[in-house]
Amino acid sequence: MNEEHNPARASTATTAPWDGIRVSLLRAFSSRDIDSRLSVARGGRIAGGYGRSVQMRLELVPLAVSDVERSIAFYRDRVGFTLDHDVSPGNGMRVVQLTPPGSACSIAFGTGMGGGAPVSNIHLVVDDVDAARAVLADRGVEISPVQDVGGGVRYAFFADPDGNSWALQEIAVGAAPPE
C-alpha cells in the first residue's frame, strides 16, 4: 500500500454534522424486515407482483471528480462524511471511499477509474433539514435555502466542487406516500 494514502487517516475525521440526525432509514430495520416494512409503509407491493423479492442494498455511488484531495477535504471536512478507505492498489489507480454517518451507502472516487459526468440529485434523508443545512452552511458549504414542496417534504440543495449535486430531504413523520 502506498503510505502517502494511508487509510489510517480516517481516524482524523472531524465530528460529523449529522450527529443526532438520521441519514438512513435502513439502519432502523433488520435486513429481513426491510422489504415488508417499507412496502407496507408506502402502501405498495413487491416489484413485479409475484409475491417474492430479491433483497438488494445500495452500497456505493461512484462520483466523477477532478481533484481527489479537494474532494476528500470537501466530503470529510465540510460535509462530515467518514473516510473509510484511501488506497492505491497500483497502476496509477487510487480509490477513496467515504460514508455519511449512519448511512449504509458510501461514495467513491479516485484516479485511474475512468471518467464520467457529475451525478445529479443524490438524496440524504435527514430528520431536520433546517439543522442539517445550518451545520453544512457553518462549515462553508454553499447550500440553498430550505424549500417546502408540500406533503411534509422539505429540501435543501448543494453541490461539490465538481458539480455532483445533493439534496438534503426531510420527510415529516406521518407524511402520506406519493400517489
Q: Which helix or strand (DSSP H or E) is residue 71 part of?
A: helix 68-72
Take residue 104 and report the three cell numbers written for it. Answer: 449504509
Instruction: Please give the share of the chain, as a percent, with pLDDT higher than 70.
Output: 69
Q: Which domains does the chain have, with CATH numbers?
A: 57-171 (3.10.180.10)
Contact 34, 55 (CB under 8 A): yes
Contact 25, 125 (CB under 8 A): yes
Q: Is 75 exposed, middle or buried (0-12, 13-18, 19+ CB in 10 A)?
A: buried
pLDDT at 51 over 60: yes
Contact 125, 24 (CB under 8 A): yes
pLDDT per position as a tens digit, 71-80:
999 999 999 9
**pLDDT of amino acid 45:** 54
Stronger pLDDT, 35 or 21, i.e. the higher one? 35
Q: What is the phi/psi pair of residue 85, to 5°?
A: -145, 145
Does the pTM surpass 0.75? The reply is no
Mean pLDDT (whole number) for 18-33:
36
